[in-house]
Amino acid sequence: MSVSDTRPVWFITGCSTGFGREFALQCLERGLRVVATARRLSNLDGLDAPSERLLKIELDVTDPSAITDAIARTREAFGRIDVLVNNAGYGYLTSAEEGEEAEIRAMFDANVFGLFAMTRAVLPLMRAQRSGTVVNISSIAGLVARAASSYYGASKYAVEGFTSGLHAEVAHLGIRAMAVEPGPFRTDWAGRSLRTTEVGIEDYRQSVGARLSGTAEISGRQQGDPVRAVTAIIEAASSDNPPLHLVLGAYAVDATRERWMQSIKELDTWEAVGRATDFPD
């Protein structure tokens, strides 16, 4: 480890494909130091740079001992972590009624509890540094959950709540937290990475079934460009004042604005009822 090397260190989970892979590539192109992780080391083939700039680690974020080892190896190699990108995770779509317990729990282990564990492991370094940024890759489903996304959306709503709470706890320590809410992007999310339980109940074919069919049809043709998305995230995370929420893609921006406007309208409609529940003065 060179103590004189001041290039920021980015620790990125889920670098096999999609956003994670693009994060590693762009960070290396920018001259940053990168810790690239994946569940299988062979999935990191093709990521090449001198050892003083790239550390490749086999990491399953649902394995606490593997997280501890990865952080220890990073400290030994680079001495610090400036940006943690919690990218590892995947989607599971089905109806709420037909959700399979094992599938739901496995997804939450990766999307939620793995993200929590990674953040807990990195925070001591960032506190000691009095600096750092935690970037949590959420989803538009964490702001606007649609049919078939009840469980996936719930996992991302958990990420949203965690990020907001984390921001309130660590901002005074020089640590920033940012949640990223991408809409449909041209990655493997809707393809081979997506897990589903098909609709078996006729009553859900119009809502959940239609969403599953639409998701399959759009796979590989989504409007969002992963390269531009990752560039935007890196620039936002590297700025002096990163946003708490970074909504990416025209679909996600429009859907978020529409939902927030609906929420304001609903709040206004029911405001008197809500205020009347306090003890009288």
Q: Residue with structure tokens 């995230």?
A: 233
The pLDDT value given to residue 160 = 98
Catalytic residue among 56, 95, 155, 156: 156
Segments of the chain assigned E as strands:
9-12, 33-38, 54-58, 83-86, 92-93, 132-137, 175-182, 195-196, 245-248
Q: Is 204 annotated in the active site? A: no
Q: Across residues 53-73, what is the average pLDDT?
A: 98
Catalytic residue among 90, 151, 152, 204: 152
- pLDDT-based confidence at 2, cuts 50/70/90? low
pLDDT at 1 exceeding the cut of 60: no
Backbone angles phi, psi at 98, to 5 degrees: -100, 10
Catalytic residue among 138, 149, 150, 155: 138
* Chain segment 138-168, per-residue pLDDT in tens: 999 999 999 999 999 999 999 999 999 999 9
Q: Across residues 18-39, what is the average pLDDT?
A: 97
Q: Is 138 annotated in the active site? A: yes
Element (H, E) at 120: helix 114-129
Class of the domain covering 9-275? alpha beta
The pLDDT value given to residue 219 = 87
- pLDDT-based confidence at 101, cuts 50/70/90? very high
Q: Is the pTM of this model over 0.85?
A: yes
User: Residue 279 has what DSSP assignment?
Assistant: P
* Chain segment 194-207, per-residue pLDDT in tens: 999 999 999 999 99
The pLDDT mean for the chain works out to 96
| Coil, helix or strand at residue 248 | strand
pLDDT at 3 exceeding the cut of 80: no
How many percent of the chain have pLDDT more than 90? 93
Angular region, 163: left φ>0, alpha ψ -120 to 50, beta rest: alpha
